[in-house]
Amino acid sequence: MKNSNVKPAEGKLGIMVVGNGAVATTFMTGVLMARRGLAKPIGSMTQYDKVRVGRGADKKYLHYSDIVPLANLNDIVFGCWDVYPQNAYQSAVYAEVLKREDIEPVREELEKIVPMPAAFDKNYAKRLDGDNVKQCSNRWDMMEQLRQDIRNFKSAQQCDRVVVLWAASTEIYVPVDEQVHYHLSDLEAAMKADDREHVAPSMCYAYAALVEGCPFVMGAPNTTVDIPAMWELAEKTQMPIAGKDFKTGQTLVKSGFAPIIGTRCLGLEGWFSTNILGNRDGLVLDEPQNFRTKEVSKLSTLETILKADEQPELYSDYYHKVRINYYPPRNDNKESWDNIDIRGWMGYPMQIKINFLCRDSILAAPVCLDLCLLIDLAQRAGRCGTQRFLSFFLKSPMHDYTRGEEAVNHLYRQHTMLKNAIREMGGYEADEEID
């Protein structure tokens, strides 16, 4: 390694996952299998991608771990919370994402990952009926109990560092409210006053994580850390945060495909995206208030790639629609369809159809790994607040909307931001301009 000024990744890295469902258990099982050499962590940037460093004769392409000190898979210890009491082995079997032969070799390790009672409020996910739930007198007490969980886990597992990752269900939509969400003191007052409408359980997890010195990643589209009060807390505690919503299937395709239309200056009339999905995530999203959170996240992708203000003749009036349909027979094997109506020379219409038969959790697991390893890296590099270089992994990347900052959704610009951050933390020059 050149002259990286990042603290070394010494000791164990605890990854405490909120939610022990399909994504979480596919992620955990894959890491445990990979470190025994029984599976390959395909799709993970931290394990496969190479970044160019240097120029001319000094040019080299290096893996991230040869540029910056990343935690090793062997040093990861998992913990979790869930509304249901099943351990990670039982939950992985229930999820039916992985074949039994890909779970059994690490059964004993998975059985030891037993969810702590969840900080939960049924109003935030009506379709869930598990009873492994904390009794809390108010939101502040909920947060204090989570802080205690983090401390207990850290000392029991002898972790050097802990990252908290939300891979739990999507909560109902919580619109940003300036009275509660703009200042940390207002948010704290609302937690103490048990304002359940404005303080989601996920905010208690995030608050607890940050004050315990743990970076926090939001993998669902929940508002949680995407509010100025949490940015203030991240600054105060000097902790990095990232979110929202893992970019996995349809939106990954959208953010990679929309640049084709924009780069060739083709016009867009409309983009219709629909999905069928039958896992528990699909069940929760079948509830309109929960779907609203996802819809806002999924809709935000196109408007920052195909911009009306830059190309009014091409993009001023396109129709963008996203649907998710709960369809149990498909379980985790989501199928998505995109119909794209474009315009070419002299306005002549054309259509593009994309049909992606994906596996939701198989796409999400490497994103979980990369987000955890990279936010741990960011913390050791002394970075705090929103980590925009992690936008590459997120459907609705956080940005400072109070200052008119725009999200970067364009997949290749996001990749440039990621590579530049790795270069900078590795002591190299960040030399690709994002235009």
Ligand X SMILES: NC(=O)c1ccc[n+]([C@@H]2O[C@H](COP(=O)([O-])OP(=O)(O)OC[C@H]3O[C@@H](n4cnc5c(N)ncnc54)[C@H](O)[C@@H]3O)[C@@H](O)[C@H]2O)c1
Distance CA(173)–CA(264), nearest Å, equals: 36
* DSSP track, 126-189: TT-----B---SSHHHHHHHHHHHHHHHHHHTTEEEEEEEE-SPPPPP----HHHHSSHHHHHH
Distance CA(114)–CA(110), nearest Å, equals: 8
Q: Is the dihedral of CA 266, 267, 268, 269 positive or negative?
A: negative
Length of the chain in residues, anyone?
435
At residue 325, what are phi and psi to the nearest 5 degrees?
-115, 125
Does 227 bind ligand X (CB under 6 A)? Our answer is no
Site for ligand X in 389-408 (CB under 6 A): none
The SS3 of residue 301 is: helix
Q: Compute the least distance from the CB of residue 253 to ligand X, in Å.
A: 12
Instruction: Count Cβ atoms below 10 Å from residue 434 Cβ, excluding itself.
Output: 12
Does 173 bind ligand X (CB under 6 A)? Our answer is no
Among 30, 41, 79, 201, binds ligand X (CB under 6 A): 201
Does 97 bind ligand X (CB under 6 A)? Our answer is no
Site for ligand X in 333-372 (CB under 6 A): 360-361, 363-364
At residue 230, what are phi and psi to the nearest 5 degrees?
-75, -30
CA angle 160, 78, 373 (to 5 degrees): 65
Which one, 163 or 425, has the nearer CB to ligand X? 163
Among 20, 87, 336, 391, binds ligand X (CB under 6 A): 20
What's the token pair of residue 1?
A: 């390694």
Q: Which residues pair with residue 242 across a beta bridge? A: 217
Closest CA to 201 of 285, 142, 127: 142
Does 424 bind ligand X (CB under 6 A)? Our answer is no
Which one, 120 or 231, has the nearer CB to ligand X? 120
Residue 345, CA distances (Å) to 208, 261, 314 in order: 56, 13, 11
Which one, 186 or 360, has the nearer CB to ligand X? 360
Binding mask 119-158 for ligand X (x = CB under 6 A): xx----x--x-x----------------------------
Does 267 bind ligand X (CB under 6 A)? Our answer is no
What's the token pair of residue 233?
A: 């807390």
Q: Compute the least distance from the CB of residue 129 to ligand X, in Å.
A: 9
Q: Given the rule CB under 6 A, which of 66-74, 244-252, 347-355, 414-422 is the region that contacts ligand X?
A: 244-252
Q: Is the dihedral of CA 327, 330, 334, 337 positive or negative?
A: negative
Distance CA(20)–CA(109), nearest Å, equals: 14
Among 83, 190, 253, 342, binds ligand X (CB under 6 A): 83
Give, for 77, the enclosing helix (H) or strand (E).
strand 76-82
Does 262 bind ligand X (CB under 6 A)? Our answer is no
Does 18 bind ligand X (CB under 6 A)? Our answer is yes
Site for ligand X in 49-68 (CB under 6 A): none
Q: Compute the least distance from the CB of residue 98 to ligand X, in Å.
A: 13
Q: Compute the least distance from the CB of residue 362 to ligand X, in Å.
A: 9
Does 167 bind ligand X (CB under 6 A)? Our answer is yes
Which one, 361 or 391, has the nearer CB to ligand X? 361
What's the token pair of residue 62?
A: 């290096």
Among 81, 153, 291, 326, binds ligand X (CB under 6 A): 81
At residue 212, what are phi and psi to the nearest 5 degrees?
-90, 5
Does 240 bind ligand X (CB under 6 A)? Our answer is no
Q: Given the rule CB under 6 A, which of 52-60, 114-122, 144-152, 188-196 is the region that contacts ligand X?
A: 114-122
Site for ligand X in 273-302 (CB under 6 A): 279-281
Q: Given the rule CB under 6 A, which of 77-85, 234-242, 267-275, 427-435 is the region that contacts ligand X?
A: 77-85
Q: With contacts defined by CB under 6 A, how many residues of the chain interact with ligand X?
A: 36
Among 144, 186, 226, 245, binds ligand X (CB under 6 A): 245
Q: Compute the least distance from the CB of residue 199 to ligand X, in Å.
A: 13
Q: Compute the least distance from the CB of residue 379 to ligand X, in Å.
A: 22
Distance CA(118)–CA(384), nearest Å, equals: 27
- Amino acid code (one letter) for 378: A
Q: Compute the least distance from the CB of residue 424 to ligand X, in Å.
A: 28
Q: Compute the least distance from the CB of residue 87 to ligand X, in Å.
A: 12
- Where do the DSSP E strands lie in 300-396? 319-326, 335-343, 349-357, 385-386
- Amino acid code (one letter) for 133: V
Instruction: Tell me the residue number closest to ligand X, measured at CB.
Output: 21
**Residues near ligand X (CB under 6 A):** 18-24, 81-84, 95, 118-120, 125, 128, 130, 167-170, 201, 219-220, 245-246, 248-249, 279-281, 360-361, 363-364
